[in-house]
Structure 1
């Protein structure tokens, strides 16, 4: 399996000559009032990628980009959806083949297996994590999940995870402008929680996602850390990690 990190939480997988996109987003403009401008240049990928499968963890527009589906999904491609999101997704997407899966249900095609598993969103929206694997590599993608009590169970039921892609920015959000009361509790995994979650998943390596790209001093306040803190947390928890910059490949 060939793995490339895209913007923010997005990744591209290539296996058996098939391309998979998870949480692939190019257009973050709708969330600019609360996320602010990207602090680094966004990579443009939609002109170059033709995907056989597109998945997303939830419908926040920094994880779900209709324009990417329209531009990147092949004519015979499939959108794979967690059943909890199906009625909402159908309002946004028409004319594509959709595979709908319940939690822990699997779909296998071209020796690639897809499985939605439990996740918990920081502001109460419906979300799943995804496990995707082929004959050689198994990945876990956690969207922007918060800490929950199912990581132990997920680790026991899903052996041999190679890479756990997990959010690490532990962001505190103030979304009163869209009707949510302020809470000081982080709305995604923070650094230590992500390392602990990867450890409970028995992942060979944590791959941090969902950090560094956005900050808004009033509405979107992430945990800030440096390379030394990454290494120190890795040693403290006993969990290895690998950092992929946006656009970087992991083979």
Structure 2
């Protein structure tokens, strides 16, 4: 399996001569009033990527990009959707084959298995994490989940996870602009929680996602960390990690 880090939480998997996009987003402009400007130049991938499968953890527009589905999904490609999100997806997407899965239900095709599993969204919307495996590599993608009490169970029920892609920015959001009351509690895993979650998942390596690109002094305030913090939490949890920069490929 070849894994490329895309923007923010997005990754591209290439295996069995098939391409899979997870939380692949190119256009963040709609959320600019609350996320702010991107700190780095965004990766443009939709002109040269044709995906056989597209999955996403939830419908927030920094994880779900309708234009990517329209441009990147092959004519015979499949959109694989967690069942709780199906009604919302069908409001936005037409003329696409959709495979609908309940939590912990699997879909296997071309020797690739997809499975949505439990997640908890930071502001109460519906969300799942995803497990994708190809017989030699198994990845866990956590979208922007917050800490929850199912990591123990997920680790027991899903053995041999090689890479856990988990959010690490521990962001505090102030979305009063869209009618949500302010809370100082983080709306995604922070770096310490991500290391702990990866450890409970028994993942060989944590790959941090969902950090560094966006910050807004009033609406979107991420927790800051550096290499020392990564090394410290890795040592404390005995959990290895791998930093994958946007655009970088892991084989």
TM interval, short-chain normalised: over 0.9
SS of structure 2 residue aligned to 1:129: strand
SS of structure 2 residue aligned to 1:139: strand
- The corresponding residue for 1:134 is 134
- The corresponding residue for 1:110 is 110
- The corresponding residue for 2:244 is 244
Q: Aligned partners of 2:9, 2:195: CA distance in 1, in Å?
A: 16
- The corresponding residue for 1:4 is 4
Q: Aligned partners of 2:32, 2:116: CA distance in 1, in Å?
A: 29
TM-score (norm 2): 1.00
Establish whether residue 160 from structure 1 lines up as the match of residue 163 from structure 2: no
* Structure 2: gaps of 5 or more residues: none
Q: Aligned partners of 1:138, 1:131: CA distance in 2, in Å?
A: 7
> How far did 1:227 drift?
1.0
* Structure 1: gaps of 5 or more residues: none
1:22-41 equivalent positions in 2, closer than 5 A? 22-41=22-41
SS of structure 2 residue aligned to 1:70: helix
- The corresponding residue for 2:125 is 125
SS of structure 1 residue aligned to 2:182: coil
1:15-54 equivalent positions in 2, closer than 5 A? 15-54=15-54
TM-score (norm 1): 1.00
- The corresponding residue for 2:177 is 177
Single out whichever of 223-232 and 136-145 deviates more from structure 2: 223-232
Q: Aligned partners of 1:145, 1:21: CA distance in 2, in Å?
A: 18
> How far did 1:237 drift?
1.0
Poorly superposed stretches of 4+, deviation over 3 Å: none
* 1:51-92 Cα deviation digits (max 9, x unpaired): 000000000000000000000000000000000000000000
Q: Aligned Cα RMSD in Å?
A: 0.3
SS of structure 2 residue aligned to 1:206: strand
* 1:117-165 Cα deviation digits (max 9, x unpaired): 0000000000000000001100000000000000000000000000000
Establish whether residue 95 from structure 1 lines up as the match of residue 71 from structure 2: no
- The corresponding residue for 2:80 is 80
